[in-house]
């Protein structure tokens, strides 16, 4: 579904990604764990077309059709079915929940199908339905995260990129959000989940990568990585 | 059926402003009439800048430059091409004078808008990569560049100014243009696609994540804003009858920015602020030489009141 090869990204002189290769297969949850500043956000932004890579390739395939995302603009990438839930949620604070969700479906034309997606989003997050006319900025952190996820789903993506959805949330809410991620994955959505909360992410994901200062240092089935001594020491606090 | 209704509606609007014009020119004294026209022009300018600054969140300070493009373009058209068209309309097509000037000024307004929009596109494309303070300064700079370029164009009078522009602006045209501006921009920002403007204002990166082509919408807002600024400039040119680039310095841009800031994000707010700030100096004539001091004090007071209201909501 997504295949990244030897990706190099830099901010001026700072090399944020130094040859990252990674793959997400159809139907998978793949998690990318790494400490603060490892380059996780940079990777997701590059996939979404918000940052141009120095070199390397990003391939995305949908229905047997293979396309290179390298030189595509963000809106073209969204149109292909790759949506991102950005770090820090970034909901449109002065717009209502309904308007936020509408904007998620910005590129879609069929009003009836959009309506169906909306119903589905409300099924997934009933709390959003209760707050549909409320401004997004007045929601709690957890509700904002739900809105950010629901908004990304409104684009009807095939591949969802999530940047630290657990950031700053109470443990109970994190559990709830992760449960939802599992649910939407079971309905066929492929997910690339970036997390610092390695413990939960490794329980949820099928496969995992560990990123350290711009390089992938470990990869494998999530269950195996959770047992790995180095991972335990560095990320699971054991 | 629907199209018939639309045509009828347009005719009704035209008749309404036609009779309003007739009525006001008969019963209103010329001084009030002129203030009314200035207020209307300022409403057009404020609403068009509102789209860029308040809705899309791109702080532009170059509105006077686009106004100047429209003012000079329309004046050049009515002054140079107008007489030719007039003799064509009246002699060849045997139009009455009234229709001839109707078409000439109608064309002039469209040309003014389109040229300003073109200028908006040329300026907007490179400048809208910038953000915040940098964007404000760059637009201010471009506004001045446009002004100085016009100042050095001899065909429009250069430093001597552009004189003898026919007086076409009246309540009919004013009403039509205010209504048109309001309709176009109002419908735009309340449409599904138009919500993209708000999304860009709220968070540009998030807007991009939604699949919004942010450059397209930012430049689009800028071009549409410039179009109506040009129309406003054309109305001004044909109200005053004389143009000099001194009327389009960055102080003029700042006046319009003040209207938008004072009015808040809504179109109604911008329009009201435009009217209040047009009337204010007239009301304050009573203070004679202290007028501008009092004006500034009132402005500060209004801004404080406004800020308080914002905090409470
Ligand atoms: N806009 C930027 N300009 C310069 N350096 C940046 C920028 N964004 C991130 N960086 C640097 O790139 C590295 C990776 O950052 P990031 O991708 O945000 O890491 P993570 O998401 O894993 O915490 C860090 O060293 C960070 O300081
Ligand atoms: Mg990050």
Q: What is the pLDDT of residue B49?
A: 97
pLDDT in tens, B165-177: 999 999 999 999 9
**Is B24 inside any structural domain?**
no
Ligand 2 geometric centre to CA of A44 (Å): 9
pLDDT in tens, B182-230: 999 999 999 988 999 999 999 999 999 999 999 999 999 999 999 999 9
Q: Which residue of A has its CA nearest to B202?
A: A92
Q: Sort out which chain A residues have CB atoms less than 8 A from B202's CB and list them.
A: 92-95
Q: What is the rounded distance in angstroms from the CA atom of residue A30 to the CA atom of residue A201?
A: 9
Percent of residues, chain B, with pLDDT higher than 90: 72
Residue B306 near chain A (CB below 8 Å)? no
Query: What residue's CA is closest to ligand 1, atom 26?
Result: A37
ipTM of the complex: 0.90
Residue B196 near chain A (CB below 8 Å)? yes
**Is B242 inside any structural domain?**
yes
Q: Which of A50, A75, A91 sits opposite B211 (nearest CB)?
A: A75
**Is B62 inside any structural domain?**
yes
Identify the domain containing residue B137 by its residue range.
Answer: 38-283+290-307
Q: Which residue has the higher pLDDT, B1 or A80?
A: A80
**Is B193 inside any structural domain?**
yes
**Is B1 inside any structural domain?**
no
**Is B31 inside any structural domain?**
no
Query: What residue's CA is closest to ligand 1, atom 11?
Result: A16
Show which of residues 64-103 on chain A sit within 8 Å of chain B, judged by CB atoms. 73-75, 78-79, 83-84, 86, 90-95, 99, 102-103
Ligand closest to Cα of A34 equals: 1
Show which of residues 148-167 on chain B sit within 8 Å of chain A, judged by CB atoms. none
Task: Give the number of A-B residue pairs with CB atoms closer than 8 Å.
Answer: 63
Share the mean pLDDT of chain A: 93
**pTM for this predicted structure:** 0.90
pLDDT in tens, A72-119: 999 999 999 999 999 988 999 999 999 999 999 999 988 899 999 999
Q: Sort out which chain A residues have CB atoms less than 8 A from B196's CB and list them.
A: 103, 106
Q: Which of A75, A84, A93 sits opposite B212 (nearest CB)?
A: A75
**Is B28 inside any structural domain?**
no
**Is B88 inside any structural domain?**
yes
Please state the domain count of chain B. Answer: 1
């Amino acid at each position: 579904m997504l295949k990244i090869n030897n990706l190099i990204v830099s901010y001026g002189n700072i090399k944020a990604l130094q040859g990252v290769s990674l793959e997400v297969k159809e139907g998978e949850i793949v998690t990318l764990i790494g400490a603060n500043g490892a380059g996780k956000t940079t990777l997701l932004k590059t996939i979404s077309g918000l940052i141009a890579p120095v070199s390397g390739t990003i391939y995305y395939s949908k229905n047997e059709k293979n396309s290179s995302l390298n030189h595509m603009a963000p809106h073209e990438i969204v149109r292909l079915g790759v949506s991102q839930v950005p770090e820090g949620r970034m909901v449109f604070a002065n717009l209502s929940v309904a308007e936020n969700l509408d904007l998620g479906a910005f590129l879609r034309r069929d009003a009836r199908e959009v309506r169906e997606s909306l119903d589905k989003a409300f099924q997934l997050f009933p709390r959003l339905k209760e707050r549909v006319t409320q401004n997004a900025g007045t929601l709690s952190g957890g509700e904002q995260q739900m809105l950010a996820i629901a908004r990304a789903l409104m684009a009807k993506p095939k591949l969802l990129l999530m940047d630290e959805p657990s950031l700053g949330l109470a443990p109970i809410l994190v559990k709830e959000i992760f449960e939802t991620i599992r649910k939407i994955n079971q309905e066929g959505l492929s997910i690339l989940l970036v997390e610092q909360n390695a413990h939960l992410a490794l329980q949820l994901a099928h496969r995992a990568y560990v990123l350290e200062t711009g390089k992938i240092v470990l990869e494998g089935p999530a269950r195996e990585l959770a047992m790995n001594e180095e991972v335990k020491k560095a990320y699971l606090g054991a | 059926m629907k199209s018939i209704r639309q045509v009828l509606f347009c005719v009704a609007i035209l008749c309404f402003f036609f009779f309003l014009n007739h009525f006001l020119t008969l019963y209103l004294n010329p001084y009030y009439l002129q203030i009314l026209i200035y207020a209307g022009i300022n409403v057009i300018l404020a609403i068009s800048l509102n789209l860029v600054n308040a809705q899309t969140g791109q702080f532009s300070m170059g509105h006077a430059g686009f106004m100047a493009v429209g003012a000079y373009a329309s004046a050049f058209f009515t002054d140079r091409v107008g007489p030719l068209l007039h003799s064509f309309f009246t002699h060849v097509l045997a139009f009455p004078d009234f229709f001839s000037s109707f078409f000439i000024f109608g064309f002039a307004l469209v040309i003014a808008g389109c040229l300003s929009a073109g200028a908006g596109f040329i300026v907007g494309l490179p400048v809208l990569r910038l953000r915040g303070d940098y964007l404000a300064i760059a637009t201010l700079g471009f506004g001045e560049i446009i002004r100085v370029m016009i100042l050095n164009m001899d065909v429009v009078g250069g430093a001597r100014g552009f004189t003898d522009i026919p007086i076409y602006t009246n309540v009919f045209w004013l009403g039509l243009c205010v209504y048109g501006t309001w309709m176009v921009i109002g419908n735009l920002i309340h449409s599904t696609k138009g919500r993209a403007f708000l999304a860009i204002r709220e968070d540009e990166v998030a807007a991009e994540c939604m699949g919004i082509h942010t450059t397209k919408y930012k430049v689009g807002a800028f071009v549409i804003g410039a179009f109506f600024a040009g129309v406003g400039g054309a109305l001004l040119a044909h109200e005053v009858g004389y143009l000099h680039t001194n009327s389009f310095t960055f102080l003029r841009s700042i006046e319009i920015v003040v209207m938008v800031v004072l009015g808040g994000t809504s179109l109604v707010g911008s329009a009201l602020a435009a009217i209040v700030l047009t009337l204010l100096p007239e009301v304050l004539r009573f203070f004679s030489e202290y007028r501008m001091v009092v004006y500034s004090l009132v402005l500060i007071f209004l801004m404080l009141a406004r800020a308080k209201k914002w905090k409470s909501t």
